[in-house]
Structure 1
């Protein structure tokens, strides 16, 4: 497990409004997201990100890169954290293109994400 920041995800009520806000605030640029819909990929000078609608009042998720997501999930549980049951991995084609993702909470309930790049174990 390497643990470096891989990307961030912003959940907002209205994705178009969110894009306009963050573009005006930070000068970020946006491209259509891989899943279609109202989501978008965010280009920043440093860490890439994403934004999606229908998630009013959510906290930003920071996704940390891991080499073996199944091993990392087991370790989260061993350390007293939890992993949400929501399937955010998508199908095999999506995993081969974009990698695998898990939404987690640490042992104090703070949210974070795990990301395994395509081609992992």
Structure 2
């Protein structure tokens, strides 16, 4: 359903250390993810997540689900927000597995992300 929290991403300096820390703290399980440099997909009881390295001191990224990425990005712009240029989904195989991700800012500069899961309408 559009607007629900769909995905979170943790940017850290060392993804292996973070995997050990968050796995030990929350009991999350990890599998290889789409990002370069040893990223992981995180399995939690409720929300899908990701972990990527080489991003020390980053704030968590929060992504909201959309059914049609292209339409949602246009609406962000119409409402006075901005959209980063890069689809964070990775290559074709990664997009097929994880979907499309875009970072945006609202009309006051607040960062947030949009996520179109695999198989959702629209072509991203």
**What range describes the TM-score normalised by the shorter chain of this pair?**
0.7 to 0.9
Q: Which moves more between the two structures, 68-77 or 103-112?
A: 103-112
Q: Distance in 1 between matches of 2:42 and 2:16?
A: 13
TM-score (norm 1): 0.87
Give yes or no for the alignment of 1:105 onto 2:105: yes
Work out the number of aligned pairs and report it: 121
Alignment match, 1:28:
28
Q: Which moves more between the two structures, 66-75 or 76-85?
A: 76-85
Tell me if structure 1 keeps the 8 A contact 2:34–2:90: no
Deviant stretches of 4+, over 2 Å: 34-37, 89-98
Q: Secondary structure of the equivalent of 1:20? A: helix
Ranges in structure 1 where 5+ consecutive residues have no aligned partner: none
Alignment match, 2:52:
52
* Residues 27 and 99 of structure 1, relative CA distance in 2, 3 Å threshold: same
Q: Which moves more between the two structures, 48-57 or 98-107?
A: 98-107
Give yes or no for the alignment of 1:3 onto 2:25: no
Q: Distance in 1 between matches of 2:92 and 2:44?
A: 28
Q: Secondary structure of the equivalent of 1:109? A: coil
Ranges in structure 2 where 5+ consecutive residues have no aligned partner: none
Tell me the C-alpha RMSD between the 2 structures: 1.8
* Residues 115 and 24 of structure 1, relative CA distance in 2, 3 Å threshold: same
Q: Distance in 2 between matches of 1:117 and 1:18?
A: 25
